[in-house]
Amino acid sequence: MRKPEIDKKLLKKHLRGEHADEKGVKTKFFKEKLKRKEVYLEYAAEQAARAEILKNEEEGFIEADQDESTADYTQKEIVQNVDITAATKHFNLSLDFGPYRLRYTKNGRHLLLGGRRGHIAAFDWVTKRIHCEMNVMEEVADVSWLHLETMFACAQKNWVYFYDNQGTEIHCIKRMSRVNRMEFLPYHFLLATASSEGFLSWLDVSIGEIVAQYNSKAGDIRIMCQNPYNAVLCTGGSKGVVSMWSPTVREPLAKVLVHSTPMTAIAVDPKGMHLATGGLDRSLKVWDIRKLSGPLAVYKCGMAVNEIDISQKGVLAFSTGNICEMYKQTVMESENPSPYLRERVNDYVYGLRFCPYEDVLGVSTGKGFTSLLVPGSGEPNFDGLEANPFQTKKQRREHEVHALLEKIPMDLISLEPNEIRGVDVETLQDKVNAKKSILFVKPPRIDFKSRRKMKGKGGSANAAKNKQIVKDAKRKEFIKDAKKARDKVFEQHKEKSTTEDFIPLESSNATVLDRFKVKKKNK
């Protein structure tokens, strides 16, 4: 029986790249081996593509009636048209200790709210079961879940505190002081913080050690996000420059001038493809992270953008003042696109985050929290081994152990996360450097000790003379060798000249400046 055909698009989604080229492989044996491997890889991709049929949830959507646009619909209308369980996902919390920051867990089940005036609340937002709620009686700058919903970090006025889901203080890290923004890198178990003194620190929460801490020399960092694709931190600032940081390198891995005015917001999409930035110039720009030469799209907004987020399915949400706007795609075709949805919330927006695996956008404002329904924003089919919203206690424990065993060392954080799989090939720059080093070598120091002679067989003057002779000889030898090596390099790079009396009509590298060259005299 023949198997049904698979959609080419699906197959491409699961393939990890082009076929390996067997051209450079020397022996038949390894060629055959490579071919066999390719067959296996293709089979794996095919199996994964076939497994798509087992997905049982479908993406959300919203369809407007005739002569209407989706942007006209309010939350109220949407809620009236969805089922009861989905309707409960839209709710408002009016809280008194704002402005608030918010954070969802990796599986999108739990929500953490932190108010500037000390209010912290952690709860399961689906069932509305509260884990803990307290006031730390101190300013709270940012909050972040750690790898599980059992622990979270809170950047307070001076230091970073850790609490468990009962609200008990577990730890306080005083080396992380005056932190403005925090990001948790779940696969590396690193809590990255940016302080108002411009210090970036990475704390390994599995061993409780600060693995890297340095001054970014960018001053007060108020805008930061992580790139989920490669765990690199992106910081923005008043200069309109986005810099990307890894714990192992003290200089930014990449820098890009995104706005000519100070920046107000930054976000990276979950696939790590797009970077969205907002500036005081009232524009929002979307960049391709792998090619930062120019923005893919520029949108003009009425006011400066204060928060941005991009969902799993690429829905772009941003807020200007107290208005949240959602766009269906991160990069739109038209310059002046009409929004997918638009919603006015009760106060100025201070936090905007899509909930993973749900069609929900969490908005935290100066006066509380609002959960908005955004159909088609979340990934409908989760992977039970990666992030499971329905995970039981036992599964959670199992997951924690596996995650800890698979903790990626922080040295592997770089712009290209799959670098470890590549072959370490000498780059052209390395080759050039190697050759350059031949051209500019210094003669080595020669430590020569003259042999001790019998008494009266030559004094110190003689010894010094001998020493000089040996040194000279060694140096001469060295210079000779170096010259030989140099000549060899030049020989390799010499242009192939034709015979003298033949003047080519067109030289391969003729320039306009050739006219100033000394002409050869005819004999």
Partner 1 sequence: MKVKVISRNPDEYMRETKRDLHKVPRNYDPTLHPFEAAREYVRALNATKLDRVFAKPFLASLDGHRDGVSCFGKHPERLSTLCSGAYDGEIRVWDLPMRSCVRNFVAHEGFVRGITYTPCGERFITVGDDKTVKIWKAETPEVGDEEEPVNTLLSRTVLLGVSHHRTEPIFATCGEVCNIWDETRNEPLNVLKWGVDSLHAIAFNMVETSILAACASDRSVIFYDKRETKPLRKMVLTMKSNKLAWNPMEAFNFTVANEDFNLYTFDTRQLKNPVKIHYDHVSAVTDVDYSPTGKEFVSASYDKTIRIYEIHKSHSRDIYHTKRMQHVVCVGWSYDNKYIYSGSDEMNIRLWKARASEKLGATRPRERANFNYQEALKEKYAAHPEIKRIARHRQVPKKIYNTHKKMRAIKDKEKKKEANVRKHSKKGKFKFVAEKKKVVLKEDV
What residue ranges bind partner 1 (CB under 8 A)? Answer: 13-14, 16, 48, 51-52, 54-65, 68, 73, 77-78, 81-83, 85-86, 89, 187, 228-229, 231, 270-272, 357-359, 373, 375, 378-390, 392, 394-395, 405-409, 412, 417-421
CB of 257 to partner 1, least distance (A): 28
* Per-residue CA distances from 200 to 141, 209, 220, 302, 515 (Å): 15, 14, 11, 33, 57
Pick the closer one to partner 1 by CB: 390 or 490.
390
Edge-to-edge strands, sheet with 316-320: 307-310, 316-320, 323-327, 341-344
Pick the closer one to partner 1 by CB: 271 or 282.
271
* Cβ atoms of residues 149 and 165 within 8 Å: yes
Specify the DSSP class assigned to residue 375: T
Half-sphere exposure of 303 (CA within 13 A, CB side): 13
CB of 168 to partner 1, least distance (A): 29
Q: What 3-state DSSP class applies to 266?
A: strand
CB of 246 to partner 1, least distance (A): 13
In whole angstroms, what is the distance from residue 365 CA to residue 48 CA?
Answer: 42
CB of 61 to partner 1, least distance (A): 6
Pick the closer one to partner 1 by CB: 396 or 471.
396
In whole angstroms, what is the distance from residue 127 CA to residue 209 CA?
Answer: 35
In whole angstroms, what is the distance from residue 286 CA to residue 471 CA?
Answer: 64
Burial profile 435-448: b = 16 or more Cβ within 10 angstroms, e = fewer = eeeeeeeeeeeeee
Find all residues with CB under 8 Å of 458, minimum gap 6, and list them. Answer: none
In whole angstroms, what is the distance from residue 480 CA to residue 10 CA?
Answer: 63
Pick the closer one to partner 1 by CB: 84 or 428.
84
CB of 234 to partner 1, least distance (A): 16
Pick the closer one to partner 1 by CB: 179 or 267.
267
Pick the closer one to partner 1 by CB: 58 or 501.
58
Find all residues with CB under 8 Å of 504, minimum gap 6, and list them. Answer: 498
Pick the closer one to partner 1 by CB: 11 or 280.
11
Q: What 3-state DSSP class applies to 407?
A: coil
269-218-250-406 Cα dihedral, nearest 10 degrees: -30
Pick the closer one to partner 1 by CB: 421 or 452.
421
